[in-house]
Amino acid sequence: MKTSAFLYPWDVVGDPGAAARTAGLGVRQVTLAAAYHSTRALTPRHPRHRVVTAEYAAVLYPPGEQLWQGRELRPRPAGAWVAGPDAFGTAAAALDAAGLEVHTWVVLAHNSRMGEEHPDTTVVNAFGDRYPWAPCIAHPEVRGYLVDLAAEAAVRPGARGTELESLGWYGLAHLHAHDKIGGVPLGDAAQYLMSLCFCPHCRDGYAELGADPAQLAAAVRQALDPAWARGSTDAGLPAVAELLGEEPAAIALEWRVRQARSLQEQAIAAVRAAAPPGFQVLLHADPAPYHCGANAGVDPAHILGHADGLVLPCTGGPAVREAMLAPTAAHARPDTVLAANFTVVSGMGGRPADLAADAAHAAELGATELRLYHAGLACEADLDAVRRALAGT
pLDDT at 180 (0 to 100): 77
| pLDDT tens per residue, range 90-134 | 999 999 999 999 999 999 999 999 999 999 999 999 999 999 999
Give the CATH number, domain containing residue 27. 3.20.20.80
Round to whole Å and give the CA distance between 253 and 259: 10
Considering the domain boundaries, does residue 175 fall inside one? yes
Contacting residues for 39 by C-beta, under 8 A, at least 6 apart: 53, 54
| pLDDT tens per residue, range 178-221 | 777 788 999 999 999 999 999 999 999 999 999 999 999 999 99
183 vs 276, residue with greater confidence: 276
Residue type, 47: P
Considering the domain boundaries, does residue 215 fall inside one? no
Q: Domain tally for the chain?
A: 1
Considering the domain boundaries, does residue 360 fall inside one? yes
β-strand 39-42 against 51-54: which pairing, if any?
A: antiparallel
Considering the domain boundaries, does residue 190 fall inside one? no
The model carries a pTM of: 0.97
CA 207 to chain centre: 29
Give just the sign of the alpha carbon dihedral 313, 317, 319, 322: positive
Considering the domain boundaries, does residue 237 fall inside one? no
Considering the domain boundaries, does residue 352 fall inside one? yes
- Residues spanned by the domain of 25: 2-180+259-391
Give mean pLDDT, residues 363-368: 98
| pLDDT tens per residue, range 218-265 | 999 999 999 999 999 998 999 999 999 999 999 999 999 999 999 999
Give mean pLDDT, residues 153-177: 94
Q: Mean pLDDT lowest for which of 5-9, 159-163, 179-183, 272-276? A: 179-183
CA 182 vs CA 84, 112, 179, 186: distances in Å: 39, 20, 8, 8
SS3 at position 3? strand
Considering the domain boundaries, does residue 205 fall inside one? no
Round to whole Å and give the CA distance between 349 and 338: 22
Considering the domain boundaries, does residue 207 fall inside one? no
